[in-house]
Chain A
Amino acid sequence: MSFLSHATNRIESVLASIRQLEGAEFPYKDSQDALHTIRELFERQLNDLMEQDENSSQEVVKEKCAFSLKNLFCCLPLLGFILRSTNVRNAFEVFGPLRDIARAVLEPEVLVSKRTTKLLLSSEWGYSPVTYPEISDLPGFVLIGLPAPESSNPLLIPLSGHELGHSVWAKRGLAQQFRTDIQKKILEYIKAHWTDYHTLFPNVSKPVDLDTILFARQTWLRALRWALEQAEESFCDFIGIKLYGASYLRAFAYLLSPNVSSPRSASYPDSMARVRNLVKAAKEYKFDPPPDYEDMFRDRPAQSLRPEDRFRLSAADDALEKIVDGLISKAGELVSLSGVSKPDTNEIKRIYERYRLVVPAEKCLTLADILSAAWEAYEDQELWSSVPNMTTDKNRILRDLVLKNIEIFHGEHILQNAQ
């Protein structure tokens, strides 16, 4: 039974690695808890495998070994993510305020003191914020990772709203909620472009078969999947905008403008469509988008797709365009329900005035106000020009100033709750 011994050895190795990781300096208990949960998962699997013997069914043992291997594939990147959550390049100051927001958005119906959502705030060696939204082995955890070189840049924190959006999407079962509508729009698109469709899929003879015959359904299921993925990504953008206002748009542009030169992914809206939707949502939520925002972007090169997939992608893009208003209002509704206040223009101005003096502001009301003021300061070319010796290292000082401000904001929040 060499495959069984291979499987047990593999798990023992990962458990040894976990024990080593447990010796890391964890700034917050949430990361330790995540590691502990994963360790227990592998310990259970190891025990299960150890109980197999020569009398066990070979097929059952193989299945158990295969399952444990699948878990290794799933959990190993997660262990790296947890380890990186201890790295001091991260802006640990934002942990508390971000977890408060995550708890409010994911558990609005629960008393503040009873909320339990945990946060893994980490960094990724990939140039895009990352989340692992549906980790069944880590229930109740939100995972947010910013690109490692930018993980201490508070200007990019608004993008965490997008990653939080994935958790909201999963927790609220929004894929199910939007699926019917999206499917309807895709079928409408096909019917409206029947000649093109029929040329590509001649075996489907009439529109009425689209939703009734299995092989006909299979012709558009991929379009449905792409449209659902695009809907989720768009919804996540809208959560970010509703939480952080125009600073989300600015952070998005910092990270992704003018575009990534590789071909677009079908899981995301086309670059320019996405940007137009960002602007639309911002206006819907009564935020002013940055001036000439759309001009900062351009489309990504088209994917090299077979004609059938090109048609499916067009159907998915069209379906997204038709349901985008519903996504904007759903994201707005869920953030409003959470009680997280939207950024306030007067507060942003007040904080920005403090930044002009190179000091943090006290008694801030929201993280979004602080980050919006930070963007105002970052984009102010004249900032600190009258302060001796401060312009040469402006970006580094601004980062530290804003993170100190966030720490003060969090400390004030702790003191308020302690009263």
Chain B
Amino acid sequence: MNLKADEILLYLEEGHKSGTKDPLVITPYPDLNKLKDSGLAAIDLRLGTWFVTLRPARMPYIGIGDSGIQSQLSKTHYVPFGGAYYLHPRTFVLGITLQWLRLPKNLTAFVIGKSSWGRRGLIIATATGVHPGFMGCLTLELTNVGEIPIEIKPGMEICQIFIQEVHETGAACVESQFGGARKPMFGEVRLDDIAKKLGGGKLGQI
């Protein structure tokens, strides 16, 4: 069940008490007064300062298991507070949340765009799930599916995060390849054991 703003608030306040071992943290701290009276079931997250774009001319295609994608196929950009990034129609860029998040073992979250941006053609996030135990900034996949370039600025509200309680079993948290990072990351796409056994992804191989 989604937590409402006042419940999120309780978690955040608890997380700021010293001695809390497994807190929910969203920092920089959201505007608590705004949150308290909002009646919302989500918190707005802001856009960070780092962006990563693809350099299509550098590789013929993105292959499965290409570990060099971050360094060979991408270009990193930094936009300071006060600066702007222009997202042109049908372009794709990885952004990052300004906030650093920490989810305890008993909370999970999902990130979605804001409707006001969506109506202008800006699609914010596609991989929306955030697992219990995640720590770091969230990579955002930004695409302009509209017809007109869009200006985005670090520090602006870009997406929202819904938080849910999960039954805490004491099992280890999932290891995220994106955890503990301040810059957008591609991560790796790998074949798992079943996919490998099914032919290593090679078409027609029996």
Contacts and interface: CB of A to CB of B under 8 A. Distances in A.
Given A27-B78, A92-B80, A400-B181, A408 B28 contact: yes
Given A400-B136, A403-B182, A408-B27, A359 B80 contact: no
A291 B168 CA distance: 43
B9 to A, nearest CB: 16
B23 interface: yes
B173 A28 contact: no
A396 B182 CA distance: 10
B27 A396 contact: no
A260 interface: no
Interface string B72-111: 0000111111010000000000000010101000000000
A404 B78 contact: no
B28 A88 contact: no
A360 B48 CA distance: 15
A379 interface: no
A359 B173 contact: no
B134 to A, nearest CB: 10
Contact of B175 (A93, A359, A389, A410): A389
Interface residues of B, number: 31
Given A362-B27, A362-B29, A411 B135 contact: no
A388 B78 contact: no
Given A388-B173, A400-B182, A360 B27 contact: yes
Interface string A81-114: 0000000100011011000000000000000000
B78 to A, nearest CB: 5
Interface string B133-167: 10111000000000000000001000000000000
Interface in B12-62: 18, 20, 23, 25, 27-29, 49
B144 to A, nearest CB: 20
Interface string A1-37: 0000000000000000000000001011000000000
B163 to A, nearest CB: 16
A135 interface: no
A88 B179 CA distance: 20
Contacts of B172: 388-389
Nearest to B137: A404
B27 A359 contact: yes
B18 A396 contact: no
Contacts of B49: 92-93, 407
B182 A358 contact: no
A397 B175 CA distance: 14
Interface string B163-206: 00000000011010001111100000000000000000000000
Contacts of B25: 357, 359
A399 to B, nearest CB: 9
Contacts of B136: 397, 400
A393 interface: yes
Interface in A339-380: 353, 357-360, 362
Contacts of A396: 180
A133 B161 CA distance: 48
A27 B78 CA distance: 6
A412 interface: yes
B140 to A, nearest CB: 16
B100 A360 contact: yes
A357 B100 CA distance: 12
A92 B78 contact: yes
Q: Which of B18, B135, B181, B182 has the most chain A CB atoms inside 10 A of its CB?
A: B182
A390 interface: yes
A204 interface: no
A28 B80 CA distance: 7
Nearest to A361: B27
A414 interface: yes
Contacts of A407: 49, 98, 182
A357 B102 contact: yes
B155 A411 contact: yes
Nearest to A397: B180
Contacts of A362: 27-29
Nearest to A408: B28
Q: Which of A362, A396, A407, A412 has the most CB of B within 10 A?
A: A407
Interface of A: 25, 27-28, 88, 92-93, 95-96, 353, 357-360, 362, 388-390, 393, 396-397, 400-401, 403-404, 407-408, 410-412, 414
8 contacts: A27-B79, A92-B80, A95-B80, A390-B135, A400-B182, A403-B182, A408-B27, A408-B28
Given A28-B80, A358-B135, A389-B179, 8 more contacts: A362-B27, A362-B28, A397-B181, A400-B180, A407-B182, A411-B28, A411-B155, A414-B81
Give 9 nearest A-B pairs by CB, closest first.
A397-B180, A389-B175, A400-B182, A88-B76, A359-B25, A358-B135, A404-B182, A27-B78, A388-B172
